[in-house]
Structure 1
Amino acid sequence: MENLKLNLGCGERKIPGYINVDKFGNPDIKHNLESFPWPWETDSVSQILLIHVLEHLGKDVETYFRIFQEMYRICNHGAKIRIIVPHFRHNFFYDDPTHVRVVTPLGLELFSKKANKEWARLGQSNSPLGLYLDIDFELKETAIRPSSDWFRLHPEKNVDIKLLQQEANIYNNLIEQYDMLLEVIK
């Protein structure tokens, strides 16, 4: 089977057209995402959704790496992986004791061989995880969702993303979540 679409860590949010996977509840497939190998064939997956899931996984860095290695193994070239996580400086992240991992755009770019090579060329010290782990994911899109606190401070409807990012580096609770899209490169 190929071109599978997986909704990993679905919880009660089953999505039609996807294989809904979780270790709890009544998913289509019950599986612990921190248990390896995953039950899908190499190069069989074209889409993965991780909606408010990745921040719950990989407290141990080696487990976190294995998750990315498994995604890389099961995905075909060009597969898309949508990752939505709470912003690490928002109450949604740090009020939940089950959140064990900060996930950021730069943290995902560490798994890009292209970025790894460019950083090495420039003499930067970012960890070249794509090269170390022999996996390759390109970050294609990043969207940030401003919080109600942002709109209380800046009630205009058009969000100045640059200002939002600058102020979020100083103040908590301005960005609610990241929505990021990775593409698998093989």
Structure 2
Amino acid sequence: MKLNLGCGHNRIPGYVNVDSAPACQPDQLWDLEQSPWPWADDSVTEAMFVHSLEHIGFEPRVFLQVITELYRVMAPGGEVKIFAPHPRSDDFLNDPTHVRPITPQMLRLFDRAENDRVKAIGGANTPLAHYTGVDFRIVHQQFVLAEPYATALKDGAIKPAEVSEAMASKWNVAREVRVTLRAIKPAGAA
């Protein structure tokens, strides 16, 4: 099964399109902040959050519950594709329903190997994979650049290092963050 979670009006063919708003006419009406989710353990091979995860889980406890339920329903090796506005973009800032930034750094907190590495060196990152029992590995990340940065990089007018420096210190360099997570778990285990 493939899920398009928080689909809004962005229905994707071949996916079960899920939303809590009846006006979106989802295939399945469900509030993702409610658990347990209605899908079986290990039943989902692919999940998508296309500009929806940043709207979910204002309270940290609820957000962690969403990630825990996501892990439970994902099949071993299943992938979760997340598209979200870059937290330093006006697209993120101007929507009052955005409740949390989604970044690769935050998502790495749900990677058990990364939690182990940080623990071994005495780092201060919150080991959310240890606390929640999940294990998601980032297998791809991409930043979609805003103009004029996208064109300047394509044309060679600026270098990737300059873009990275600008993203760390300026607003509206990147429009979107895209991350793919892989569920790391033994077959048949939730």
Q: TM-score range by the shorter chain?
A: over 0.9
Within-5 A mapping of 1:97-116 = 97-116=96-115
Tell me what 2:188 maps to. none
Q: Does the 8 Å CA contact 2:153/2:159 hold for their aligned counterparts?
A: no
* Residue 14 (1) aligns with residue 21 (2): no
Alignment equivalent of 1:157, drawn from 144, 155, 174: 155
Supply the AA of the counterpart residue of 1:96: D
Runs of at least 5 residues in structure 2 that lack an aligned partner in the other structure: 186-190
Supply the AA of the counterpart residue of 1:52: H
With over 3 angstroms needed to count, the CA separation of the structure-2 counterparts of 1:141 and 1:160, relative to structure 1, is farther
Q: Deviations over 1:116-162 (max 9, x none)?
A: 0011112211111001111100011101111014247x364357333
Q: Does the 8 Å CA contact 2:46/2:79 hold for their aligned counterparts?
A: yes
Q: Deviations over 1:54-95 (max 9, x none)?
A: 110111000000000000111111000000100000000000
SS of aligned partner of 1:10 = coil
How much identity, in percent, do the aligned residues show? 34
With over 3 angstroms needed to count, the CA separation of the structure-2 counterparts of 1:99 and 1:29, relative to structure 1, is same
CA distance in 2, matches of 1:90, 1:64: 22
Q: Does the 8 Å CA contact 1:7/1:50 hold for their aligned counterparts?
A: yes
- TM-score under structure 1 normalisation? 0.94
CA distance in 2, matches of 1:151, 1:96: 23
SS of aligned partner of 1:169 = helix
- TM-score under structure 2 normalisation? 0.92
Q: Does the 8 Å CA contact 1:90/1:174 hold for their aligned counterparts?
A: yes
Within-5 A mapping of 1:132-151 = 132-151=131-150
Runs of at least 5 residues in structure 1 that lack an aligned partner in the other structure: none
Aligned residue pairs, count: 182
